[in-house]
Amino acid sequence: MLAFKFEIMAISFSIKKTLSNDGSFKELMNMKRSMIIYVVSCLKRMMFSSLVCYCVSSCLSIKDITYFQPINQTRDEVITNIRTLYTPIIKSGDILSITVSSMDKDDREIFNPLPPTVFQQAQIGGFIVLQPIKGFSVDSVGKIVFPQVGEMKVAGLTTQEVEKKLTDQLHQFVLSPTVSVQIANYIISVLGEVARPAQYVISNNRITLPEALALAGDLTIYGNRKNVLIVREIEGERIFSRIDLTNRNLFRSPYYYLHAGDLIYVEPTKGKLTATDRTYQMAPIVISSLSLLLLIISSLIK
């Protein structure tokens, strides 16, 4: 770049010398034309070389972005020993959405004091925000307080077991009761290189890792599919595990089904870091090119 500037200055000096020696108009125009052609060709070479470096440094292979790749590409594969359906266990801190159905309208009003839980997420200012969650909170000893029934131990049970337990206890108050129980604050968090990073409420209390990533709009082209981090809390301990989305062994992983409170983090690839660096590296080149153009214009005017 410095040599390029000296070359421009030398050509400008020649033009000025020609003018001082009363050079012909044709000779002067030829020198100006040569200077412009030289500058344009140099700028083209610089921009092209920068663009090539930018593209080569940020390119990805098809194996880096293809999900669930088989070991043998020539035949179909049947995956055995897949994970069984995950059934969530209620624990302290959960919020239960409980609905009691009955033929009697008065019974419905008594045993459904809270409005039905609506699993919604609002979009405010471009951000996904969780709506307030209402329900029966499981206290520190694993109990809830339900109308007429009073305190009831629910921690350590599934939602189906709580439904049966509540139905048995409500028979003395309600004619043919039907009970529905869901975990209202079944939330997962998705961060990093995805289209819509946010917290998501899972209304049916069951979701897989691919489904969660699809819910977040899939990974960006810069998301590292081979090293997705899942953070899970089990009995007061946080477990950090890495998952390779390009490998079909994902379907055998204990992290295929997500638990309430799981955090998914998709880290960026080196390609994004390189692309960002290249952007900052190209900025001085563009600025220098513009300064050279201004130098040429000023030289021609003078």
Highest mean pLDDT pick, 3-12, 62-71, 147-156 = 147-156
Q: Which domain, by its residues, includes 230? A: 187-268
- Residue 254 and residue 280 in one domain: no
- Residue 153 and residue 209 in one domain: no
What band does 256 get if pLDDT is binned at 50, 70 and 90? very high
- Residue 202 and residue 242 in one domain: yes
Q: How many domains does the chain have?
A: 3
- Residue 151 and residue 177 in one domain: yes
What's the CATH number where 207 sits? 3.10.560.10
> What DSSP letter does each residue of the chain carry, written as one string?
-HHHHHHHHHHHHHHHHHHHTT--HHHHHHHHHHHHHHHHHHHHHHHHHHHHHHHHHH---HHHH-SSB-S-TTS-----SPPPPP-----TT-EEEEEEE-S-HHHHHHH--SPPP---EEEETTEEEEPP--SEE--TTSEEEETTTEEEE-TT--HHHHHHHHHHHHTTTSSS-EEEEEETT-EEEEEESBSS-EEEE-TTS--BHHHHHHHTT-B-TTB-TT-EEEEEEETTEEEEEEE-TTBGGGGGSTTSBPPTT-EEEEPBPHHHHHHHHHHHHHHHHHHHHHHHHHHHHHHHH-
Q: Residue 77 falls within a domain, yes or no?
A: no
Give the tens place of pLDDT for each residue, 82-106: 667 889 999 999 999 998 988 777 7
Give the tens place of pLDDT for each residue, 185-205: 999 999 999 999 999 989 889
